[in-house]
Amino acid sequence: MPLTLTALQGLPLIKPGDDLAGIILKSISQSALSLENDDIIVLAQKIVSKAENQLVNLSTIVPTPQALELAARSGKDPRLAELIIRESNEILRVRMGSVIVEHKLGFVCANAGIDHSNVAGDGTDLEEWFLLLPQNPDQSASKIRSQLELASGKRIGVMIIDSHGRAWRVGTVGITIGISGLPGLIDERGWKDLFGYALQITVVAAADELAAAASLVMGQASEGTPVVHVRGFPFPLRDGNLQELLRPKEQDLFR
């Protein structure tokens, strides 16, 4: 089966408390698609965070001395620096304009994944609103998957993705931050190559590869297509989670 990715159309701007599963089902119907066994739904982190009311207005944040020091080193608003500290296990690197952290969820990212693009909250201080990552993306994905499966009667997978940079490359790519019902990794060690040799070290980050493809379809600016329907994922679905994609700290050569 060919791998097809289709950005769902007609999605509204998501607000806190919105029923994402219901909105996705309506959009699937309007897009002349359907849910079938082994389909995957990929959601941008931003709409999950908005639905879960992960919005924070900087006017409510009082920076600590640690945040003031981080702000001086990074050039960031001290209140934003305070949010970054709160959302992080550890500050790893700081330079003017960027703070690299280990997020509370366990992965390394810039500025604790706190977002300001395409974000607006209630009131008039639009420049004050920032969006945090979901508190438990695996759990969020699992909830949406359960609702979609109950409504459709099909077995599917759900992913939540975000855009991250990488230590050894320029530019951002889509990566997985939440999984339910599909593998994060595919262990190909022992599989035979074209010449019959057994693979020794190949473990494929299949969820991240799909996240990168879905991110291309979604776009990053004003496209308004934060949900992608996937059919033809080339591996069997199984229960997976974010943890299997995270490199243990003792194996991280960039720490």
In the chain, what are the domain boundaries?
A: 4-45+147-245, 55-131
Backbone angle region of 125, left / alpha / beta, with phi > 0 → left and psi within -120 to 50 → alpha: beta
Q: Is the pLDDT of residue 190 over 60?
A: yes
Contact 86, 63 (CB under 8 A): no
**Residue 31, SS3 per DSSP:** coil
The top-level CATH class assigned to 4-45+147-245 is alpha beta
Interatomic CA distance for residues 141 and 145, integer angstroms = 6
The top-level CATH class assigned to 55-131 is alpha beta
Interatomic CA distance for residues 248 and 244, integer angstroms = 10
Q: Do 4-45+147-245 and 55-131 fold alike per CATH?
A: no
Question: What is the mean predicted confidence (pLDDT) over 143-170?
Answer: 95
For the segment 6-20, what is each residue's pLDDT rounded down to a tens digit? 999 989 999 999 999
Angle at 65 between CA 255 and CA 60, to 5 degrees: 100
Q: Is the pLDDT of residue 201 over 80?
A: no
